[in-house]
Amino acid sequence: MKPELGVCYYPEHWPEAQWADDAAQMVETGLSWVRIGEFAWSRIEPNEGDLRWDWLDRAVETLGAAGLKVVMGTPTATPPRWVCEKHPDMFALDEQGHVRGFGSRRHYCFSHDGYRAEAVRITRLMGERYGADPRVAAWQIDNEYGCHDTVVSYSDAARTAFRNWLSEKYGQIDALNTAWGNIFWSMEYRHYGEVFLPNLTVTEPNPSHVLDFMRFSSDQVVAFNRAQADVLRELTDTPLIHNYMGRTVEFDHFAVGEDLDIASWDSYPLGFLEDRSDRGEDWKRRFARAGDPDFQAFHHDIYRAVGKGRWWIMEQQPGPVNWAPHNPDPAAGMPRLWAWEAFAHGAEAVLYFRWRQAPMAQEQLHAGLLRPDSVAAPALAEAAQVASEMAGMEIETGTAPIGLVFDYESAWAWKAQPQGAEFDYFRLVFDFYRGLRRLGLSVDIVPRDCTDLSPWKMVVVPGLLHWGGLSDALATYEGVVVAGPRTGSKTADMQIPLPMGPNMNGVEATVARVESLRGDMSVPLAEGGAYQFWREVLEGDTLELSEDGIPARVGSAQRQYLGGWPDDDAMHRILGQAAEKAGLEVLDLPEGLRIRDAGQWRFAINYADHDWKLGKHITGAPTGRIAPHDVSWWLR
Amino acid sequence: MKPELGVCYYPEHWPEAQWADDAAQMVETGLSWVRIGEFAWSRIEPNEGDLRWDWLDRAVETLGAAGLKVVMGTPTATPPRWVCEKHPDMFALDEQGHVRGFGSRRHYCFSHDGYRAEAVRITRLMGERYGADPRVAAWQIDNEYGCHDTVVSYSDAARTAFRNWLSEKYGQIDALNTAWGNIFWSMEYRHYGEVFLPNLTVTEPNPSHVLDFMRFSSDQVVAFNRAQADVLRELTDTPLIHNYMGRTVEFDHFAVGEDLDIASWDSYPLGFLEDRSDRGEDWKRRFARAGDPDFQAFHHDIYRAVGKGRWWIMEQQPGPVNWAPHNPDPAAGMPRLWAWEAFAHGAEAVLYFRWRQAPMAQEQLHAGLLRPDSVAAPALAEAAQVASEMAGMEIETGTAPIGLVFDYESAWAWKAQPQGAEFDYFRLVFDFYRGLRRLGLSVDIVPRDCTDLSPWKMVVVPGLLHWGGLSDALATYEGVVVAGPRTGSKTADMQIPLPMGPNMNGVEATVARVESLRGDMSVPLAEGGAYQFWREVLEGDTLELSEDGIPARVGSAQRQYLGGWPDDDAMHRILGQAAEKAGLEVLDLPEGLRIRDAGQWRFAINYADHDWKLGKHITGAPTGRIAPHDVSWWLR
Amino acid sequence: MKPELGVCYYPEHWPEAQWADDAAQMVETGLSWVRIGEFAWSRIEPNEGDLRWDWLDRAVETLGAAGLKVVMGTPTATPPRWVCEKHPDMFALDEQGHVRGFGSRRHYCFSHDGYRAEAVRITRLMGERYGADPRVAAWQIDNEYGCHDTVVSYSDAARTAFRNWLSEKYGQIDALNTAWGNIFWSMEYRHYGEVFLPNLTVTEPNPSHVLDFMRFSSDQVVAFNRAQADVLRELTDTPLIHNYMGRTVEFDHFAVGEDLDIASWDSYPLGFLEDRSDRGEDWKRRFARAGDPDFQAFHHDIYRAVGKGRWWIMEQQPGPVNWAPHNPDPAAGMPRLWAWEAFAHGAEAVLYFRWRQAPMAQEQLHAGLLRPDSVAAPALAEAAQVASEMAGMEIETGTAPIGLVFDYESAWAWKAQPQGAEFDYFRLVFDFYRGLRRLGLSVDIVPRDCTDLSPWKMVVVPGLLHWGGLSDALATYEGVVVAGPRTGSKTADMQIPLPMGPNMNGVEATVARVESLRGDMSVPLAEGGAYQFWREVLEGDTLELSEDGIPARVGSAQRQYLGGWPDDDAMHRILGQAAEKAGLEVLDLPEGLRIRDAGQWRFAINYADHDWKLGKHITGAPTGRIAPHDVSWWLR
Ligand SMILES: [Zn+2]
Ligand SMILES: [Zn+2]
Ligand SMILES: [Zn+2]
């Protein structure tokens, strides 16, 4: 596969006279793709039924004529004011019951049928106009589901739809009462009309109630997306895409991905480091201009799985953004490095966001490849460099040696019932991912319903709510397995199963009890490192004790269960030993230096602000040093 | 008095076939009491008037047949959904006006007459059924008043009831205007219909308004409880009990206690340390597995006073709980130690919560004496150990040498007008309590309306809003008195009195002015230690100056007033000198080691995670060492 | 000008029999002015139309007879309950839509026509009664606009008024759509009825929308004030005054000041240090009893500008206040020092708040000159000392060497779009002010619409949204100019201009891009010090590079633009060099020691708690030392 570059463009923001020059400069830079259309509803249809295709026709014509392939976005993330006048109850409500109204974006409730019909209507009209247009080579549906915490809504529409969803799922109300354990605290319902959304309760709601509400909410996203996808399928043969966000777990991306052809995500390494990293202030300081060395890679692997192998970056940060608490300039080289990290993980395309910095409205301090005055911003030359470096290059992703299970339901379950302030599912899985990457291991993300684990030499399963179909897959799997903590500790209904966890195929063990720990109370392990935040008292064949004499790991070298959340040292040691057991060569990469294997290529990527001697850290690497914020690749 | 053990049990959570085995195992463990019924309303009355006593009859029968004494709980803390359908406005509203609805527990407003009638109705029905049942040996009314901040409600029902309450109290509206000082900021009312609840104001409401609203809110709890107590009095001769919570001061526990026979409280030492301690992170770390060494004792003494000598622990933490920010395992020995601390303070019974860990709903990660799979959790053996240790033991509480005044109105007053961010009444009194306990002194809690102080050698009165009847009691008291800061600084209407405070019998003094201080601005005292958070400029016979030359203590050795909040060192010195003046022997117990005298027994209790040489710290103690988390007792 | 002293008094709080004695003691202390009437509406008009002038007549008579000049306050900050009954929708709503109701003060929405009419009515009645009374020598309108965050309201009245305001400003709706850049995110409106207030949006609203809403909200304050001012102009010839607050920037004080004769402000140095300082905990600790050494001076200079040369302190802190997180006692000498600092900045009068500490309601722990029991508080003697020291003294303010531009619109703009968490306009300008004051330079505050800068030797312009009329003023200005960061970076509509900023007359430069920085990421400058929080990449004639090689200052020594937020060291160096270029002598005053030049006088003011050798730090100072918290002045 030959990776490509592109950019996001808003022709409606610029004088029409500028379009042709912009398109020519894009092509000259080496860009192939241009995304347009998203957010343009008020120009396409300024009043109901008053359709203005002319300008968009000319934009497609101008961009296509320059040789660019267009990604057409459906504009449903930004319904115009008149749509909201027509459907005054289409807004989501927040947990306190306040309306989340018009004036920015994503101002709709996924459960509102009236708005869903409007979204389908405008999508059909766009599909009819451009679905067969040869210049439109892909479609993006909506934009960044879940951004600004928009998956969950406490509206009347959501309540009605939730009751229907529950009724479908459970049939007789007693089944729901049993599944949720409503006998506890006399929460039993007599009929579905008595069920409300799990907000505004006196103390925390029933976690089974919350989990079902999150499943429902996720399903509403899936259905909303599918409604548009179904329409576009009738009207176009080009691939359908959605652009997901970073660290967004409120809906099941795998399920949305089922209806699409390509997964893409919007990668803002510096913004995400600032506003959604758990690694503390010193870490953020060290990587403030480079981004977390593992965060992008983790998402690349997630979205490759969500896209069943096909994935893009639809929006790539080119310079400072506008929305994090602090918005520093990327270090020189990072816009190039980030693109290469994506290609090393199999991205088919990387589109920078955006072509020219907007001078108005909310994002006017978000950098583009051009400044507002059309002078080139630093990232433009880096994009051009990437384009020339990758000319003619073929990258095949292949299968990674490691499979790491990532499951959205588990994120919802532990958010409903964290038991310890630090227990966040994304954070837990990401810590395992980071540990694998420090070992120099490439990773595939595996969904919970995977039935065949044989492609991977080793499978890692942290914090999985319940085993589901994976249990059968394990029964026939011959590789190494590392699971826990909390994996298998619940039923699908979010109750404690009998026998109690982990219920792990091939490991005789019981989690006798659990405790959550203050950050200053880590439990040292006998062989080094410690468990932090979470520790279980295990019964079973002991592999290792904690220093206080409690079994910390049980099972066998081939198939083990961890009764805690390993800190960096324990993670490195335990995963390293397991990988060696699986026959894998492991490294100990220093902070900031990372590798990724893709087909015949090995990529080395340096997020540090100083250089490293490559050969010292990476077996088989070329001699010489890798500069700060530089990328290097060679045939392995 | 021979102390007893027990447990909380929810027969409705388990198959009926399991009940008899459970009961037998309880008895075998040495438990005498079992509490049931609370939270079971939806099973007793699944629809209005559709009463299902059969299962509860059989539960009582099974438990009683095993030899257990039943505490029957009225289920009014968890009205079923149908009750809420019938009374859709029965919910409390929070300070912002959001409804606090169904879906967890305590979802009712104390002022709602319709719900109060439902509560009385179900209580009457239960009383009629089980009031004379010989197997039911005590009753618990409702559960944990005030838990989850549920005393105060801003509902329409509360507003109406508050207006009536004010009208009763003040008669003519001008009396209210004068009492509240409404001339200030033109807040004068013309009639009671103009008075609203003190929420949603632009800046802080009038503190007299707030204080009256808290008095009213407390009275609503008292009335709600009394309505059930009155019904049960007609129907049973067994003692009536309520289970209070830790650090809950939003209603007057003494007033509720007037209508009951026994006070009990729910003691969760690790949860409370995590979520309601002021001692800082290092302290929490040190005692994360043992609990604050003085917190439980303080509550034991409070509830002994609330119960007019009779008190229980209705719920005793047995292992990790589920509701604090972190929920560690207790150190081995703590479930035993906590029970002994309670008995040392005169508890008649200690019931562990709960028998078997629930596999479902909100508290599924709250430990029990049994695991969800019925295997014994560590606390079961500790409970059995306590049972065998206490067999035949008689403990008489007697009168402690120290009386410490604790007053709920003062808590409300200083919350309404803290004047300094750290000024919290509970924290202040608890600091004095801790100082006394460090001196090895046993303490009785004394309510504000006590008329005879002669039982105590020394009386301590920190932060009392106004003297009330205690002033007369002081007039004839011959012991040592230590009062202040803020004691006597207000009228009952929450105004500054003339003459200004402290208006302390036997001490000629005036608080010329006050200041609240940043935590890093303590005021050193001439003889050691310092005042923190709060300092007054005193006029009167000076006992000690602060280093900046301002009188810090006034009065006499026999009767003194403190113009500040002593830090640990000053507290130890000042209280120690006063206790010696009162003829008491004082110790300087190290951190974590505590003693308690009860009748002929002296108990030593070690919350530290290392041992101590007993005789070195405690006069007359046996030689030898006390192990970590151990208890020791001897005849004194 | 001969400065005067005074006090705030509430005759309605005290028995009438006390008034004459109070008045006599005021005069004896050396006070000339007494403010009354504000907050007294419920006593003036207890029911609609039921006017009770008698007591106020007698109060004016008593005070006047003693020789005091009365400031009469209109009571419109505290409408009585009956006014709210009459206009139940007169309250402001907060950003979440919660009503901000009766029960404290400032409970009205500036946009409510009905309440505005009530305010005008009571003002007219008071004006008719006392406008020509010779004992009433000045009027205060309302009290502390904006206190408790009361400028902005999200009520229906505000929404309607905002739509009208927009319609007036923009005419055709397309002009608004263009000005706000509503094409972005399809936010275009078809008519004004579609525009809502910028609250309750899903993510941040359009900053142009916010900026216009702040302009509107400010205009509503101006209109509300003008409505009263217009009435009083008809009825009195005495000066009209409003008492502004500290660090309140939500409305344009210059615009309100246009309708008044004198600006006054309420100076609470210790309260403000505690609750609105950015300098960190150590700083707060060091100045906890003295107040920030520059905060009062900055406001004195602001309000001198707002009052077009005439300004007062209407409320001066005399002892501990009641409303900050901590409320310490001022150090001995501070009530005197604060008055002298004000006179050094040209205050015509300083009134202490309040005469006697109130024993009731919200402010009962706010000190007065007298204690509640009428004993003198420490500040009384200090006030008397000031009175005797200033007897016969003439102070002329003159023009300062430095003009510092302060602009309320810029504060709103950067709050709407801070881009970095620390970017607060007040903080930025105050940092420049502090740097100037450390250099020993006296400062005049200059509004954005100043057309003639020639009075000042040097003009400093940090963070100005857009140049506006100042650009023309610069064209003819011959002094030194220091501008930036962010100055000139936007259009008046809050868009990025073309050419991009700074668009500074006489400086050829472009801000190529900007970044906001974590507090631990300061950018060192080549010649010392660093930029913190904010850094721009500049193009132009470079005066200095940052250590990473990027132009940090551009232009010339005479007229320069700073591409960052200087830290203390950089600020001192850069402003010092610029001031020397402007021909000014500069000092390096140590922390806490400050000077102020007023006409022929030089004042030295010592906020430190230790003494300084004056001559060592201040050229031409008398020999000898200045005591802690002391003031010294001499002819310069
Ligand atoms: Zn709300
Ligand atoms: Zn409980
Ligand atoms: Zn004031």
For residues A564 and A566, give the distance between their C-alpha atoms in angstroms, rounded to a whole number. 6
Q: What's the confidence (pLDDT) of residue C328?
A: 98
Report CB contact under 8 Å: B194, C358: no
What's chain B's Rg over C-alpha atoms? 25
Q: Are strands C262-267 and C99-100 parallel, antiparallel or unpaired?
A: unpaired
Q: Which of B586, B634, B627, B624 is nearest to B606 (CA)?
A: B627
For residues C515 and A329, give the distance between their C-alpha atoms in angstroms, rounded to a whole number. 6
Least CB-CB distance to C365: which of B206, B417, B518? B417
**Contact status, residue C502 vs residue C511, Cβ threshold 8 Å:** yes
Residues 91-110 of C with CB under 8 A from A: 96-97
What is the pLDDT averaged over residues B71-75?
Answer: 98
Report CB contact under 8 Å: C513, A377: yes
For residues C551 and C539, give the distance between their C-alpha atoms in angstroms, rounded to a whole number. 7
C520 lies within 8 A of chain A by CB: yes
Q: What's the confidence (pLDDT) of residue A60?
A: 98
For residues A47 and B19, give the distance between their C-alpha atoms in angstroms, rounded to a whole number. 69
- Strand locations in A200-274, DSSP E? 240-244, 262-267
Q: Which residue has the tokens 């907060």?
A: C94
What is the pLDDT averaged over residues A145-169?
Answer: 98
User: For the segment B144-192, what is each residue's pLDDT rounded down to a tens digit?
Assistant: 999 999 999 999 999 999 999 999 999 999 999 999 999 999 999 999 9
Q: What's the confidence (pLDDT) of residue C72?
A: 98
Q: Which residue has the tokens 């409390």?
A: B92
For residues C352 and C9, give the distance between their C-alpha atoms in angstroms, rounded to a whole number. 9
What's the distance, CA A592 to chain centroid?
A: 21
Q: Residue A12 is encoded by which pair of tokens? A: 């409606």
Q: Are strands B349-352 and B311-316 parallel, antiparallel or unpaired?
A: parallel
**What is the CATH number assigned to the segment(s) A4-151+220-389?**
3.20.20.80
Spatial neighbors of A576 by CB under 8 A, at least 6 apart, are A439, A586, A588
Other beta carbons within 10 angstroms of residue C396's beta carbon come to: 10
- The mean predicted confidence, pLDDT, of chain B is 97
Local mean pLDDT, 10-residue blocks, chain C (636 residues): 97 98 98 98 98 98 98 98 98 98 98 98 98 98 98 98 98 98 98 98 98 98 98 98 98 98 98 97 98 98 98 98 98 98 98 98 98 98 98 93 98 98 98 98 97 97 96 96 98 98 96 97 98 98 97 98 98 98 98 96 97 93 94 95
**Contact status, residue A200 vs residue A209, Cβ threshold 8 Å:** no
For residues B442 and B594, give the distance between their C-alpha atoms in angstroms, rounded to a whole number. 10
Phi and psi at B33, nearest 5°, equal -110, 145
Write the DSSP string, A154-190.
-SHHHHHHHHHHHHHHHSSHHHHHHHHTTTGGG---S
Catalytic residue list contains C363? no
Q: Residue B91 is encoded by which pair of tokens? A: 């919910």
DSSP A39: T
Q: Which of A437, A471, A473 is nearest to A456 (CA)?
A: A473
Which ligand has its closest atom nearest to the C-alpha of C264?
3
C190 lies within 8 A of chain A by CB: yes
Cis omega before residue B502 (within 30°)? yes
B538 Cα to chain C: minimum distance (Å): 13
**Contact status, residue B110 vs residue B213, Cβ threshold 8 Å:** no
**Contact status, residue A348 vs residue A312, Cβ threshold 8 Å:** yes
Catalytic residue list contains B315? yes
Report the CATH architecture of B593-635: Sandwich (2.60)
What is the pLDDT averaged over residues B398-413?
Answer: 98
For residues B445 and B298, give the distance between their C-alpha atoms in angstroms, rounded to a whole number. 9
What is the pLDDT averaged over residues A561-569?
Answer: 98
Using a CB-CB distance cutoff of 8 angstroms, which residues of chain B are in contact with residue A180?
A: 360-361
Q: Which residue has the tokens 């210790």?
A: C270
Q: What's the confidence (pLDDT) of residue C16?
A: 98
- The 3-state DSSP class for residue B311 equals strand
Q: Residue C155 is encoded by which pair of tokens? A: 């009520």
Alpha helices (runs of H) in A405-533, residue ranges in sequence order: 408-416, 425-438, 470-475
Q: State the best of A93, A98, A159, A185 to mutate against chain B, taking most chain B CBs within 10 Å.
A: A185
Which member of B38, B144, B250, B409 is catalytic?
Answer: B144
Write the DSSP string, C390-424.
TTT--------SEEEE--HHHHHHHHH--SSTT--
Round to the nearest angstrom and report the end-to-end CA distance of chain B. 18
Other beta carbons within 10 angstroms of residue B117's beta carbon come to: 12
- The 3-state DSSP class for residue B178 equals helix
B285 lies within 8 A of chain C by CB: no
Domain B4-150+221-389 CATH assignment equals 3.40.50.980 = no
A279 lies within 8 A of chain C by CB: no
Q: What's the confidence (pLDDT) of residue C636?
A: 87
What's the distance, CA A176 to chain centroid?
A: 31
- The 3-state DSSP class for residue C266 equals strand
Least CB-CB distance to A78: which of C185, C419, C496? C185
Angle at A548 between CA A546 and CA A552, to 5 degrees: 25
Which member of C4, C38, C274, C315 is catalytic?
Answer: C315
Q: Where is the binding site for substrate, in residues of A?
A: 105, 143, 323
Q: What's the confidence (pLDDT) of residue B523?
A: 98
Fill in the amino acid letter for B541.
D
Which phi-psi region, left, alpha or beta, contains residue C49 (left: φ > 0; alpha: ψ -120 to 50)? left
Q: Cα dihedral angle (B300, B301, B305, B311), rounded to 10 degrees?
A: 30
Q: Are strands A559-562 and A480-483 parallel, antiparallel or unpaired?
A: parallel
B145 C-alpha vs ligand 2 centroid, how far in Å? 10
Q: Are strands B612-613 and A530-540 parallel, antiparallel or unpaired?
A: unpaired
Predicted confidence (pLDDT) at residue A600 exceeds the cutoff of 90: yes
Using a CB-CB distance cutoff of 8 angstroms, which residues of chain B are in contact with residue C18?
A: none
Residues 413-452 of C with CB under 8 A from B: none
Q: What's the confidence (pLDDT) of residue B636?
A: 87
For chain C, domain boundaries: 4-152+218-389, 156-209, 402-581, 594-635
**What is the CATH number assigned to the segment(s) C4-152+218-389?**
3.20.20.80
Q: What's the confidence (pLDDT) of residue A620?
A: 87
Which member of A118, A144, A250, A536 is catalytic?
Answer: A144
Phi and psi at B561, nearest 5°, equal -120, 130
C594-635: CATH, from 2.60.40, 3.50.4, 2.120.10, 1.25.40:
2.60.40
Please name the helix (run of DSSP H) or strand (run of DSSP E) that holds residue A522, with its range, or none.
none
Using a CB-CB distance cutoff of 8 angstroms, which residues of chain B are in contact with residue A205?
A: 103-104, 362
B362 lies within 8 A of chain A by CB: yes
- The 3-state DSSP class for residue C594 equals strand
What's the distance, CA B490 to chain centroid?
A: 24
User: For the segment A46-86, what is each residue's pLDDT rounded down to a tens digit?
Assistant: 999 999 999 999 999 999 999 999 999 999 999 999 999 99
Which ligand has its closest atom nearest to the C-alpha of B199?
1
For residues A565 and A429, give the distance between their C-alpha atoms in angstroms, rounded to a whole number. 10
- C-alpha distances in Å from residue B527, one per residue of B546, B574, C521: 8, 9, 46
Q: What's the confidence (pLDDT) of residue B227?
A: 98
Report CB contact under 8 Å: B361, A208: yes
User: For the segment A241-280, what is each residue's pLDDT rounded down to a tens digit?
Assistant: 999 999 999 999 999 999 999 999 999 999 999 999 999 9
What is the pLDDT averaged over residues A459-488?
Answer: 97
pLDDT band, residue B287 (cuts 50/70/90): very high
A327 C-alpha vs ligand 3 centroid, how far in Å? 39
For residues C609 and A454, give the distance between their C-alpha atoms in angstroms, rounded to a whole number. 75
Around A344, how many Cα atoms within 13 Å sit in the side-chain half-sphere?
A: 27
A402-581: CATH, from 3.10.105.10, 3.40.50.880, 3.40.710.10, 3.30.360.10:
3.40.50.880
Q: Which of B473, B294, A45 is nearest to C188 (CA)?
A: A45
Other beta carbons within 10 angstroms of residue C190's beta carbon come to: 16
Q: Residue C476 is encoded by which pair of tokens? A: 């003819």
What is the pLDDT averaged over residues B203-209?
Answer: 98
- C-alpha distances in Å from residue C387, one per residue of A62, C343, C526: 80, 12, 51
